[in-house]
RNA sequence: CGGGGUGUAGCUCAGCCAGGCAGAGCGCUUGGUUUGGGACCAAGAGGCCGGCAGUUCGAAUCUGCCCACCCCGACCA
């Protein structure tokens, strides 16, 4: 975009380029590696619709860190260190997270994990195995597909299937289980038609499909496009597709078709299907790979036995991945190794969404009354409340206590408003500072103040003279 | 862009179906009482009923067009 003086400006969705350029200017020698750079910065995304309070915004704050290593082993070490560091960060923030395998997108890289805060209001779906601890975003998740016993290929045979269009109808009509059928799904991949063939008991994982096709823009074809391509919705088949289709159509197959003999598939004409369709003998595909969607109840890809995956929802609070050399190669981010040879830096990138982290922390730490800040991230350690500040020396005592606490380096939110006790306590609960100190005429009679933790219902009386030191001790404990 | 919804007092909303004095609660102002868990009494202030046009004796209410916002979906290295 341009500013009022017609200068070029950028609203950056992410900052890999800026950081890689910085590296390029600053680092020439292997002696400077590994190098870690971090920042806390505003990012912009052209979201179609922001939603979820602080969860999904067009403008948001990210803390992100980039690592530069001399080789891939170095990247592995940096990555593992950051994975551990981020685990510690979320723990200290009072946010239980689980690191799950994630899709790294077209940019690629070999490993990628997201830190998920598990909550029913989360926008991401995660599959977990209770037995082995396998955890992955549904976009990424693998699963073990039902295995069919090997069979000799039988002869193709056309059967009449009047009015049958869905796998469910087909399965019932011919009395064959869904895993003995072949499903056809049509996509427009950056405008080009793609015929996806997958076993009838499975669904397409669009992220996997997009990656298989090389990061294209992917959507289902609409009825008009299906018609235009000459495909017969409900009875489409990869068998004889070249002849049936009006234009060339790429075929992508899920690898389940390799070991699934004698399936029931479409006949490329209405009201008819084919029995005994066999991959390779009857049809071929340009790409054969896993493009299937793992679901609740799918078999765990890591366990030997019959343990299944459970679906949970989560908020993505952090994301780490191995960028590799994508940026450093393109932008010439190199250094000289011990032998004086020019080498490309190997990069990793690690992000935490700061404002959505705030939302997640509050989601996890609240009650009917309001926020219960974990001490590590509370805006103030202490909420100092006066009741009837004009009576019994309350105002003066509170002023002294405030000054004493500040002196000791304790952060204090001081409520000296002339409001009723109910209002002031309710506000203190709502704002949720870890400690509340109440100075009132009643307490002054005992030369004491009331000390209450936000996360406990009981309170204790503390002599005025000891209040500041007691609080300072507690705050010190919080910081451990 | 598609689907749904909402615009009335500072805020949250009722009134619209079935046209006839512009309403409630909270908040605000003034006076008084109250003071350890969102007080009470009394008196007040506060409105282009989103905008424009139409129907009608009469429109917040019916009709058309427009604008804004919210929700769902599509999208999200």
The ipTM value here is 0.80
The two three-digit tokens of residue A360, written as one number = 């997640």
| pLDDT at residue A449 is higher than 70 | yes
Write the class of the CATH domain A370-479.
alpha beta
Q: What is the model's pLDDT at position A108?
A: 58
Higher pLDDT, A247 or A75: A75
Give nearest nucleotide to A370 (CA–C1').
B38
Alpha carbon of A322 to those of A19, A46, A77: distances in Å?
Answer: 15, 25, 11
Give the CA A49 to C1' B67 distance in Å.
Answer: 20
Give nearest nucleotide to A446 (CA–C1').
B36
In tens, the pLDDT along A202-224 reads 999 999 998 888 878 888 888 78
CB < 7 A contacts with chain B (nucleic strand): A 13-14, 16, 45, 47-49, 51, 56, 104-107, 206, 217-219, 369, 387-388, 420-423, 425-430, 438, 440-443, 450, 452, 459
Higher pLDDT, A150 or A57: A150
Q: What is the model's pLDDT at position A59?
A: 83
Buried (b) or exposed (e) across A427-462, using 16+ Cβ within 10 A?
A: ebbebbbbbbbbbbeebbeeebbbbbbbeeeeeeeb
Pairing of strands A309-324, A346-353: antiparallel
Nucleotides of B under 7 A from a protein CB: 1, 34-39, 71-77
Q: Is A477 helix (H, G, I), strand (E, B) or coil?
A: helix
User: In A325-463, which ranges are continuous DSSP H helix?
Assistant: 326-331, 354-364, 394-407, 421-431, 441-445
Q: What is d(CA A326, CA A330) in angstroms, rounded to the nearest whole number?
A: 6
Give the CA A413 to C1' B8 distance in Å.
Answer: 39
Give the CA A220 to C1' B12 distance in Å.
Answer: 43
pLDDT bucket at A263, cuts 50 / 70 / 90:
very high
| Contact present, A293 and A321 (Cβ < 8 Å) | no
Higher pLDDT, A64 or A226: A64
Residues near A60 by beta carbon (within 8 Å), at least 6 away in sequence: A42, A43, A45, A54, A353, A354, A355, A356
The full set of domain ranges for chain A reads 16-142+307-362, 157-289, 370-479
Beta bridge partners of A273: A159, A266
In tens, the pLDDT along A346-373 reads 999 999 999 889 889 998 999 989 999 9
* A157-289: CATH, from 3.40.50.1820, 3.90.1150.10, 3.90.79.10, 3.90.960.10: 3.90.960.10
Give nearest nucleotide to A349 (CA–C1').
B77
Give nearest nucleotide to A123 (CA–C1').
B76
CATH-assigned architecture of domain A16-142+307-362? 2-Layer Sandwich (3.30)
pLDDT bucket at A291, cuts 50 / 70 / 90:
very high
Handedness of CA A400, A406, A411, A413 (dihedral sign): positive
Higher pLDDT, A2 or A127: A127
Give the CA A123 to C1' B17 distance in Å.
Answer: 39
In tens, the pLDDT along A367-404 reads 989 999 999 999 999 999 999 998 889 999 999 999 99
């Amino acid at each position: 975009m341009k500013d009022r003086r017609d200068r070029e400006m950028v609203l950056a969705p992410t900052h890999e380029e800026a950081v890689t350029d910085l590296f390029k200017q600053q680092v020439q020698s292997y002696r400077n590696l590994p190098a870690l750079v971090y920042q806390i910065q505003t990012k912009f995304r052209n979201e179609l619709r922001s939603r979820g309070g602080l969860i999904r915004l067009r403008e948001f704050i990210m803390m992100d860190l980039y690592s530069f290593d001399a080789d891939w082993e170095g990247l592995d070490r940096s990555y593992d260190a950051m994975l551990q560091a981020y685990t510690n960060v979320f723990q200290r923030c009072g946010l239980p997270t689980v690191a799950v395998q994630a899709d790294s997108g077209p940019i690629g890289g070999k490993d990628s994990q997201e830190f998920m805060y598990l909550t029913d209001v989360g926008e991401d779906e995660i599959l977990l195995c209770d037995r082995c601890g396998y955890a992955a975003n549904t976009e990424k998740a693998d699963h073990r597909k039902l295995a069919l016993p090997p069979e000799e290929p039988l002869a193709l045979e056309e059967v009449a299937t009047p009015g049958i269009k869905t796998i469910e109808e087909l399965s019932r009509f011919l009395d064959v289980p869904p895993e003995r059928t072949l499903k056809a799904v049509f996509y427009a991949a950056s405008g080009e038609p793609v015929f996806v063939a997958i076993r009838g008991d499975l669904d397409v994982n669009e992220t996997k499909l997009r990656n298989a096709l090389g990061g294209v823009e992917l959507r289902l074809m609409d009825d008009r496009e299906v018609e235009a391509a000459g495909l017969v919705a409900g009875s489409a088949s990869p068998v004889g597709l070249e002849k049936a289709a009006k234009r060339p159509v790429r075929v992508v197959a899920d690898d389940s078709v390799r070991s699934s003999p004698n399936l029931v598939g479409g006949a490329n004409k209405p009201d008819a299907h084919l029995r005994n369709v066999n991959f390779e003998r009857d049809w071929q595909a340009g790409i054969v790979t896993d493009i299937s969607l793992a679901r609740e109840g799918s078999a765990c890809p890591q366990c030997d036995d019959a343990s299944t995956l459970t679906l949970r929802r989560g908020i993505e609070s952090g994301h780490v991945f191995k960028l590799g050399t994508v940026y450093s190669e393109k932008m010439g981010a190199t250094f000289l190794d011990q032998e004086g040879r020019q080498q490309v830096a190997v990069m990793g990138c690690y992000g935490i969404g700061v404002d959505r982290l705030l939302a997640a922390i509050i989601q996890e730490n609240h009650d009917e009354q309001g926020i219960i800040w974990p001490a590590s991230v509370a805006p103030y350690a202490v909420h100092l409340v006066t009741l009837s500040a004009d009576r019994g020396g309350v105002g003066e005592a509170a002023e002294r206590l405030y000054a004493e606490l500040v002196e000791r380096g304790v952060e204090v939110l001081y409520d000296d408003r002339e409001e009723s006790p109910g209002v002031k306590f309710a506000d203190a609960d709502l704002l949720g500072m870890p400690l509340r100190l109440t100075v009132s005429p009643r307490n002054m009679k005992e030369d004491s103040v009331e000390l209450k933790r936000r996360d406990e219902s009981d309170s204790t009386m503390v002599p005025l003279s000891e209040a500041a030191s007691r609080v300072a001790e507690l705050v010190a404990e919080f910081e451990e």
